[in-house]
Structure 1
Amino acid sequence: MLLAVLSGLIISLLIIPFGKLLTTKWSFLLTLLPASLFLYFMSYVPAISAGSSFLQHIHWIPSLGVDFDFRLDGLSLLFALLITGIGTAIFFYARTYLKGYIFFDRFFGYLCLFMSAMLGVVLSDNILLLFVFWELTSISSFFLIGFNNDNADSRKSALTALSVTGLGGFFLLAGLILLGNIAGTYTISELIDARELILNNELYPLILGFLFMGAFTKSAQFPFHFWLPGAMKAPTPVSAYLHSATMVKAGIYLLARFSPILGGTDYWNYTLMAVGGFTMLFASIHSLFRIDLKGILAYSTISALGILTFLIGAGTREAIIAASVFILVHALYKATLFLVAGIIDHETGTRDITALGGLRKVLWPLSIAGILAALSSAGLPLTYGFIGKDLIYEATLHTEYQPLGWILTGIAVLTNIGLVAAGFMAGLKPFTGALPEKFANIHLPYKSMWIPPLVLGILGLVFGLLPGAVGQFINHATADAVLGSPSDMQLKIWHEFNLVFILSIATLLAGIIVYFVNKPSALKLQAIERLNAIAPQRIFTRYAHDIMRFSKWYTNLFHNGYLRSYHLKIILFAELLLAYKLWISGPITLDLEKITTPSFYEIGVIVILIGALYIVVTTPSRLTSVVAMSVIGYCICLIFVFYSAPDLAMTQFTIDTLSTVLFVLVLYKLPSFINHTGKAILYRDGIIALSFGVIISLIALRVWSEPISEEIANFYGENAYILAKGKNVVNVILVDFRGIDTMFETVVLSIAALGVYSLIRLRLKSTEKE
């Protein structure tokens, strides 16, 4: 499984040197990656449907509890099949959709990286490893959403998506760390055994809040939903992949995975049902006012994600079964509709449904795909969407929270009526009616573009005709993994004539009526957008502007570009911190009998040192200042000699000599000091400098008065030769500490070198220079 997860990352790295080959006929090789991974995961279907699960453990950072632990069970298998299966269709589609694009290779590099990240999320059995891949999905999706980086709206949408999901990731990390610390393990499969310990902990509500923030932001739940419609600025393959089957369902996966660990409480159930219920109804209504195909699909996606959140919150056997089926239902029809919308835009140059119609006459295979997806979205009998909607009503009617059952069912019915109409608007409206004259000459694109949506649309029908087989081999294992016990799922084309069936048919008929009655227009859209003044996006934007203003003030105050200002603030902060520590440590007691009378040569050296220091701070000459500073260094060398530290004296002597030579070479031709400051600032700096010296002296006296602890000395004495193979303890300490220090210095210098090299190689356009 490790190779399966990292394969996308490896391919994305190989695209860097060999990416230009992809613009030729060899681009078809890209589709082999998701296709081979899909076949690999399909090979596990028989065993997992029989109740097995597979674990892989590889040590990574055991000291921090972070290992490459992967688990493949019913839940992760469903998502892995969606990621790779729909990924195959997207790769196949995108190689033609983006043909001739200047950054063709870069796009597939990002896409491979994203696929790898999503597989890592759904297969990780270590919560810290899961978080690493979780953040990688945010970063890679940022590049994909903002792929058209010459467009200001695309850049803004990418930043918005990254900001919202990044904020959620911050809270998620806090929740996962608290969870692991309470349970004493970071392995998800072991956290289930610590369920009671976690639920009874006083931090349980806080953990839930942090986890919900991560899930809600990633899966676009209200009030964090606004980033998803904005992300429609991305190319259509990105929208189809990220916003139907993968990224937006990462939050749903997170909730489903942690449901056996954290679920079953009022905090969990009521929060998810409230947020999910409001989101699904809110977004369903909003989708009816949109006139852009991708806008309709964006809001219907938000509504579908709200349904899944609501079902996981309900937590009953019927609700989890419904969620496991609806995840697959939604992925199939929504990916189809996105791909159809992309082709319509590609061929006609518009996604405005008020200007589209009759395209069945020129894009007939595409019309079949769109209509099949719309019918599955509507829940027409004999489609897999019908099974999904039936199960949703089954879950709401048989909820444990009576008498809320009828209220929840009513909300679900209203939501699905809106989704029926929205599905018809996106999948039916462009192909029915009269064909506008301006579209009479358009033609079918390459087969590699219209075959993937047609296959996905047909699968929605095939799965509806064979629900028992799909449920037996895929969906029941998913429900079992979430419930932690057998779900006894039995999916059939026809159960019986009952209230659930009546509600499904009534929803379909009502949705058809809404579709014909509702006439979306630019005026209606403008009317509803008047409410944007109180919309969550406006509130978040206002806070973002406040943060920017604060950041500007803070930067101007603390990072104004003057080195002397940085030194002043650093030293002042250190003084306050050290002075506070000295204050709370109590008075300093000294044994005056241990203080020896200084010799005349010690006094002489101190006098010379003070004289040199006076010259340094008063001379207008840089060269004189450098020479005086070297005198200070040599005086310190003599003090080391007086106190029997010749090794330190030689080190100090060497450093001072070399520093003096370098300073003289560099500063010899520079002008004299320029006095930028008045007397008040000089006095201020003098006081701060003297204060620093006094504090350091007090610290030295504090250390001298403290009893000597020999634990560290004994440790080095006992282990210097055994562990470090060195007989000189001082040298071993120096090598150990300097080795670590040098390693980080090397990293810093390498980063600086890369930055300098990139600036040297930078070639700006004339517009960018301006």
Structure 2
Amino acid sequence: MLLTVILGLFSALLMLPFGNKIKTRWSVLLTFVPAIIFIYYLQYVPAVSTGTIYTQILPWVPSMDINFAFRLDGLSLLFALLISGIGTAIFLYAIKYLKGHPYFDRFFGYLCLFMAAMLGVVLSDNIFSLFIFWELTSISSFFLIGFNNDSDESRKSALRALTVTGMGGFFLLAGLTLLGNIAGTYQISDLVAARDLIIGHKLYPLILALICLGAFTKSAQFPFHFWLPGAMKAPTPVSAYLHSATMVKAGIYLLARFNPVLGQTELWSYTLMIVGGFTMIFAAFHALFRLDLKGILAYSTISALGVLTFLIGLGTKEAIIAVVVFILVHALYKATLFMVTGIIDHETGTRDISKLAGLRKIMPWVAVAGGLAALSSAGLPLTFGFIGKDLIYAATLEGGGTISVILTSLAVATNIALVAAGFMAGLKPFFGALPDSLKDTHRPYAALWIPPLILGALGLIAGILPGITGSYFSLQAADAVFGGNTDLHLALWHGVNTVLILSLATLGTGTLVYLANKPNPKKLKALERLNVISPQYFFDLIGQGLLKLSQGYTNVVHNGYLRSYHLKIILFAEALLAYKLWLSGPIQLDWSSLTALSIYEVAVVLILIGAVGIVLSTPYLLTAVVAMTVVGYCICLMFVFYSAPDLAMTQFTIDTLTTVLFVLVLYKLPPFLKLESSTRRYRDIAVAMSFGVILSLIALKVMNEPIDKSISQFYGENAYLLAKGKNVVNVILVDFRGIDTMFETVVLSIAAIGVYSLLKLRLKSSEKE
């Protein structure tokens, strides 16, 4: 399993050296990456369908119980097949769609990276590895959404998507960490055993809220839904892959995976049902007013994600079966509709449905693909969508009573709108009279219409053979989400019953809505007047406020003056240390234990004070440098007096080198110092003296504290035994504090690279100006 993730990452890296080759003759090889992964996971279908679960554990940080743990069960296999299978179709489609694009190789590098990240999410059985791949999907999708980086709208959409999903990732990490700490394990499959402990814990509501926020932001649930329509600025292959079958389903996968751990409680159920229920009806209503094909598909996608969230919240056996089936149903027809939309846009130059009609005469196979997807979306009998809608109604009707009537009514209203939206996207552009402006439209490449035609046909085949689809692809996935046996059995015909009547009524009413609905700019503009109360409006207001706040903070705190940084750091340290001293109470010191001052100590201190006075008062640069050196040498003598020759030698070396460096660069500096105003000088003197007083008080406080030698004894006893070093200080720096020293080395290396880059920088005359 790890190898499939590595294959995607490695393929992304190969775009760097071999990008130019990929742009020309070898682009077809890109399709083999997802195809190989799809075939690899397809071979697991027979075994997994009988209940077999495969695991793979590679230690990463064993001391913290962090491993690259992968688990292949029914749910992860379903998603792995969707990611790689639909990925194969998208790769083939995108090769022709982006043919000749200057950033062709860059696009497929991002796409391979995203595919690998999604595989990592659905296969991970460790909380932290799941989170790492989760964040990698956000980063890679940021590059894909903003792929057209010369467009302001694309850049804004990418930043908005990254901000919303990144914020959700922060909450998710907090929730997952709390969950692992309470359960005592970070292995996701082991959390089920600690379910009672987790649900009974006082932090359960907080954990649920944090994890739900992570899932809701990624799966575009209200009020975080607005980033998804904006993400339609991305190239159509991105929309077809990320926003129909993969990225937005990551949030659904998370909720489904943790349903056996956190589900079956009132808080879980009501949260998901309320958020999902409102999202699905809100987005379905909005889809009816859109003119842009991708806008219609974006809002219908949000609505479908709301349906899935709503069903997971419902949590019954029938609801979970409906979730698993609808995940597959939606992925097949929505990816098809997105690709059909891309073909229309690619060949006609427009996605405005008010300008599109009669295209079946020019692109008949595209019309067939769009028709199959639209009919599956509508739930026509013999399509897989028909079975999906039947299962949704069966779930909402279960139990009876008033609540069932309300839930079913909500589902029916949503599906009616989705039927109309599906027909608007999949049928309207192909029927009617062909406008004169479209008569010169070129026929699309076969590589463009074959992938959506295959996916559309699969929706029909799965509907005709639901038993095979259910037994091999849905049964074990449903069991994994439910946390028990669901006895899933899909059939095309269950007789004439309430569910069938509701499905046919939905299809008929949705068709009437489609025929009666005439989207136009006036309706859309009237709807957009409500944007002043939309979540995106408030999100943008918050963003503008944060921008102003950050600008003000930067101007005050990070103003670019080194002396200002030093002053603020010292003031903060003084406040913190003074507060700690105040909390610790008065200093109790036995003055008789202090040794008497010697004449040479007093002399050195007087010399030091005199040197400091010269630094503060002299107008000459060289004099200030020499006086600072005297201060350093006085400190060296202090170290010698108190038996610290190693520190004295270090201080002596540093001061000497610093003085030499200062003198070497003096010819590049002005010969005179510009003295600060008297007010600033008195301020700096007061700050420095306060700092010295506080450190003196701390030193006196420490002298009265009992000495704990356990740490020093440990280092002394184990320096040679564990690290084979006789110098304890060196061993501490290199071995016991090796990570700290490594990061210090990294910082110095980065600084050196920066300095070297500035030294080598050669600006043009125009750039200098």
| TM-score range for the pair, normalised by the shorter chain length | over 0.9
Give the secondary-structure state (helix, strand or coil) at the position aligned to 2:26: helix
Q: Which residue of 1 aligns with 2:6?
A: 6
Q: Which residue of 2 aligns with 1:658?
A: 657
Q: Which residue of 2 aligns with 1:198?
A: 198
CA spacing shift, 1:676–1:602, aligned 2, 3 Å? closer
After superposition, give the CA deviation of every residue in 1:34-71 in whole Å (9 maximum; x if it has no partner).
00000111111001100111111100112333210000
How far 1:675 sits from its partner (Å)?
Answer: 3.7
CA spacing shift, 1:762–1:503, aligned 2, 3 Å? farther
Q: Which residue of 2 aligns with 1:72?
A: 72
CA spacing shift, 1:582–1:219, aligned 2, 3 Å? same
After superposition, give the CA deviation of every residue in 1:305-332 in whole Å (9 maximum; x if it has no partner).
0000000000000000001000000000
Q: Which residue of 2 aligns with 1:491?
A: 490
Q: Which residue of 2 aligns with 1:609?
A: 608
Q: Which amino acid aligns with 1:397?
A: L
Q: Which residue of 2 aligns with 1:241?
A: 241
Q: Which residue of 2 aligns with 1:333?
A: 333
After superposition, give the CA deviation of every residue in 1:698-751 in whole Å (9 maximum; x if it has no partner).
111112221211101210121011012123334433554785555223322443
Which deviates more, 205-214 or 751-760? 751-760
Give the secondary-structure state (helix, strand or coil) at the position aligned to 1:403: helix
After superposition, give the CA deviation of every residue in 1:575-595 in whole Å (9 maximum; x if it has no partner).
011111111112222222222
Report whether the alignment pairs 1:426 with 2:425: yes
How far 1:609 sits from its partner (Å)?
Answer: 1.5
Give the secondary-structure state (helix, strand or coil) at the position aligned to 1:25: coil
How far 1:441 sits from its partner (Å)?
Answer: 2.3
How far 1:613 sits from its partner (Å)?
Answer: 1.5
Count residues with an aligned counterpart: 769
After superposition, give the CA deviation of every residue in 1:399-423 in whole Å (9 maximum; x if it has no partner).
58x4210010001001000000000
Q: How does 1:263-278 map to 2 (within 5 A)?
A: 263-278=263-278
Give the secondary-structure state (helix, strand or coil) at the position aligned to 1:69: strand
How far 1:251 sits from its partner (Å)?
Answer: 0.5
Q: Which residue of 2 aligns with 1:16?
A: 16
Q: Is the 8 A contact 1:316 1:399 kept in 2?
A: no
Q: Is the 8 A contact 2:619 2:675 kept in 1?
A: no
CA spacing shift, 1:625–1:758, aligned 2, 3 Å? closer
How far 1:769 sits from its partner (Å)?
Answer: 10
Report whether the alignment pairs 1:700 with 2:699: yes
Once residues 21 and 533 of structure 1 are traced to their aligned partners in structure 2, the CA distance between those partners, rounded to angstroms, is: 49
Which deviates more, 285-294 or 603-612? 603-612
Which deviates more, 49-58 or 590-599? 590-599
Give the secondary-structure state (helix, strand or coil) at the position aligned to 1:404: helix
Once residues 472 and 768 of structure 1 are traced to their aligned partners in structure 2, the CA distance between those partners, rounded to angstroms, is: 66
Q: Which amino acid aligns with 2:380?
A: L
CA spacing shift, 1:415–1:769, aligned 2, 3 Å? farther
How far 1:662 sits from its partner (Å)?
Answer: 1.1
CA spacing shift, 1:362–1:730, aligned 2, 3 Å? closer
How far 1:82 sits from its partner (Å)?
Answer: 0.4
Q: Which residue of 2 aligns with 1:358?
A: 358
Q: Which residue of 1 aligns with 2:414?
A: 415
How far 1:763 sits from its partner (Å)?
Answer: 11
Once residues 280 and 765 of structure 1 are traced to their aligned partners in structure 2, the CA distance between those partners, rounded to angstroms, is: 56
Once residues 252 and 754 of structure 1 are traced to their aligned partners in structure 2, the CA distance between those partners, rounded to angstroms, is: 44
CA spacing shift, 1:342–1:256, aligned 2, 3 Å? same
CA spacing shift, 1:768–1:411, aligned 2, 3 Å? farther
Q: Is the 8 A contact 2:377 2:422 kept in 1?
A: yes
Give the secondary-structure state (helix, strand or coil) at the position aligned to 2:68: strand
Report whether the alignment pairs 1:588 with 2:592: no
Once residues 164 and 488 of structure 1 are traced to their aligned partners in structure 2, the CA distance between those partners, rounded to angstroms, is: 38
Q: Which residue of 2 aligns with 1:505?
A: 504
Give the secondary-structure state (helix, strand or coil) at the position aligned to 2:108: helix
Q: Is the 8 A contact 1:168 1:213 kept in 2?
A: yes
Give the secondary-structure state (helix, strand or coil) at the position aligned to 1:494: coil
Which deviates more, 303-312 or 641-650? 641-650
Q: Which residue of 2 aligns with 1:85?
A: 85
Once residues 730 and 273 of structure 1 are traced to their aligned partners in structure 2, the CA distance between those partners, rounded to angstroms, is: 60
Query: Given the two structures, how large is their TM-score scaled by the length of structure 1?
Result: 0.97
Q: Is the 8 A contact 1:375 1:383 kept in 2?
A: yes
Q: Which amino acid aligns with 2:207?
A: I
Once residues 163 and 610 of structure 1 are traced to their aligned partners in structure 2, the CA distance between those partners, rounded to angstroms, is: 53
Q: Is the 8 A contact 1:292 1:353 kept in 2?
A: yes
CA spacing shift, 1:730–1:381, aligned 2, 3 Å? closer
Q: Is the 8 A contact 1:75 1:477 kept in 2?
A: yes
Q: Is the 8 A contact 2:733 2:741 kept in 1?
A: no
Q: Is the 8 A contact 1:314 1:399 kept in 2?
A: no
After superposition, give the CA deviation of every residue in 1:489-533 in whole Å (9 maximum; x if it has no partner).
111111110010000000000011001000011111111111111
Once residues 767 and 424 of structure 1 are traced to their aligned partners in structure 2, the CA distance between those partners, rounded to angstroms, is: 56
CA spacing shift, 1:673–1:731, aligned 2, 3 Å? same
Once residues 458 and 353 of structure 1 are traced to their aligned partners in structure 2, the CA distance between those partners, rounded to angstroms, is: 24
Query: Given the two structures, how large is their TM-score scaled by the length of structure 2?
Result: 0.97
Q: How does 1:224-235 map to 2 (within 5 A)?
A: 224-235=224-235
Q: Which amino acid aligns with 1:546?
A: G
Report whether the alignment pairs 1:163 with 2:182: no
Q: Is the 8 A contact 1:588 1:702 kept in 2?
A: yes
Q: Which amino acid aligns with 1:678?
A: S
How far 1:678 sits from its partner (Å)?
Answer: 2.4
Q: Is the 8 A contact 2:384 2:460 kept in 1?
A: yes
CA spacing shift, 1:755–1:361, aligned 2, 3 Å? farther
Gaps of 5+ in 1: none
Give the secondary-structure state (helix, strand or coil) at the position aligned to 1:68: strand
Which deviates more, 503-512 or 694-703? 694-703
How far 1:646 sits from its partner (Å)?
Answer: 2.6
Once residues 148 and 49 of structure 1 are traced to their aligned partners in structure 2, the CA distance between those partners, rounded to angstroms, is: 42
Q: Is the 8 A contact 2:70 2:124 kept in 1?
A: yes
Once residues 46 and 562 of structure 2 are traced to their aligned partners in structure 1, the CA distance between those partners, rounded to angstroms, is: 67
Report whether the alignment pairs 1:620 with 2:626: no
Q: Which amino acid aligns with 1:420?
A: V
Q: Which residue of 1 aligns with 2:648?
A: 649
How far 1:25 sits from its partner (Å)?
Answer: 1.8
How far 1:388 sits from its partner (Å)?
Answer: 0.2
Which deviates more, 592-601 or 552-561? 592-601
Q: Which residue of 2 aligns with 1:109?
A: 109
Q: Which residue of 1 aligns with 2:367?
A: 367
Q: Which amino acid aligns with 1:29?
A: L
Q: Is the 8 A contact 1:471 1:489 kept in 2?
A: yes
Give the secondary-structure state (helix, strand or coil) at the position aligned to 1:71: strand
Q: Which residue of 1 aligns with 2:342?
A: 342
Q: Which residue of 2 aligns with 1:630?
A: 629
CA spacing shift, 1:516–1:44, aligned 2, 3 Å? same
Q: Which amino acid aligns with 1:147?
A: F
CA spacing shift, 1:132–1:761, aligned 2, 3 Å? farther
CA spacing shift, 1:136–1:162, aligned 2, 3 Å? same
Gaps of 5+ in 2: none
CA spacing shift, 1:763–1:306, aligned 2, 3 Å? farther
Which deviates more, 295-304 or 61-70? 61-70
Q: How does 1:27-66 map to 2 (within 5 A)?
A: 27-66=27-66
Give the secondary-structure state (helix, strand or coil) at the position aligned to 2:244: coil
Once residues 67 and 41 of structure 1 are traced to their aligned partners in structure 2, the CA distance between those partners, rounded to angstroms, is: 22
How far 1:197 sits from its partner (Å)?
Answer: 0.3
Q: How does 1:513-524 map to 2 (within 5 A)?
A: 513-524=512-523
Once residues 344 and 768 of structure 2 are traced to their aligned partners in structure 1, the CA distance between those partners, rounded to angstroms, is: 38
Once residues 506 and 548 of structure 1 are traced to their aligned partners in structure 2, the CA distance between those partners, rounded to angstroms, is: 51
Q: Which amino acid aligns with 1:53?
A: I
Q: Which residue of 1 aligns with 2:540?
A: 541
Q: Which residue of 2 aligns with 1:573?
A: 572
Q: Is the 8 A contact 2:292 2:351 kept in 1?
A: yes
Q: Is the 8 A contact 1:623 1:668 kept in 2?
A: no
Which deviates more, 489-498 or 639-648? 639-648
How far 1:673 sits from its partner (Å)?
Answer: 4.8
Once residues 627 and 677 of structure 1 are traced to their aligned partners in structure 2, the CA distance between those partners, rounded to angstroms, is: 20
Q: Which amino acid aligns with 2:393?
A: Y
Q: Which residue of 1 aligns with 2:172?
A: 172
Aligned-pair RMSD on alpha carbons? 1.9
CA spacing shift, 1:762–1:463, aligned 2, 3 Å? farther
Q: Which amino acid aligns with 1:93?
A: Y
Q: Which residue of 2 aligns with 1:311?
A: 311
Q: Is the 8 A contact 2:621 2:673 kept in 1?
A: no
Q: Which residue of 1 aligns with 2:441?
A: 442
Identity across matched positions, percent:
70
CA spacing shift, 1:677–1:753, aligned 2, 3 Å? closer
